[in-house]
Amino acid sequence: PSTTVKKQAADKHQIQINSVKHESHETSSTNRHAGKNLVRTETSSGIGRACALEFAQHTNVNRVVVARRLDHLHTLRDEIAAFNYPQVKVTAIQLDVTDRSAVFSAFKDIEVDVLVNNAGLAVGVDHVADIPEDSFDTMFAVNVKGAMNVMQACLPSMKVSF
């Protein structure tokens, strides 16, 4: 019985969330954000992909989706395009955010209005005291340096748009 009650509560919560999002889309996002460019990093799987799809259903902005796996990006691009905003452009960019020169090259001609810097990873399931140095280096490179690379590459065009 408790599982049923929890599921009903979760379903009720989801309905409330969806109705709020729908109102937001109709009243503000459609007009105020039309033609703006939203860049979202690491959209090929997990939370980043789910957020990209959810956001695409409720906003009328151009999307630049960024991740390492191009085949997943093309699938995501096609799914977003299926939401049928014919005036919205969806661009997929294959990119390793740890490669600073590639990041700057990828964003040099893109005007960025909104950045959702979502790229990140965790290597292994070790306790903090047991994380090998190479795993720490990989996580730091993506989660910190990668985020900084993308922010620094996007900020010049973001400053111009405000």
The closest alpha carbon to 119, from 93, 92, 150, belongs to: 150
Residue 159 in tokens: 């400053």
Question: pLDDT tens across 78-127, in order?
Answer: 888 887 667 778 888 899 999 999 999 999 988 898 898 888 888 888 88
Q: Enter the pTM of the model.
A: 0.72
The 10s digit of each residue's pLDDT in 23-46 is 333 444 455 667 788 888 887 788
What value does the mean pLDDT take over residues 65-73?
86
The residues that bridge with 94 in the sheet, in sequence order, are: 67
User: By percentage, how much of the chain surpasses pLDDT 90?
Assistant: 27
Give residue 4's pLDDT: 42
Say if residues 154 and 115 touch (Cβ distance below 8 Å): yes
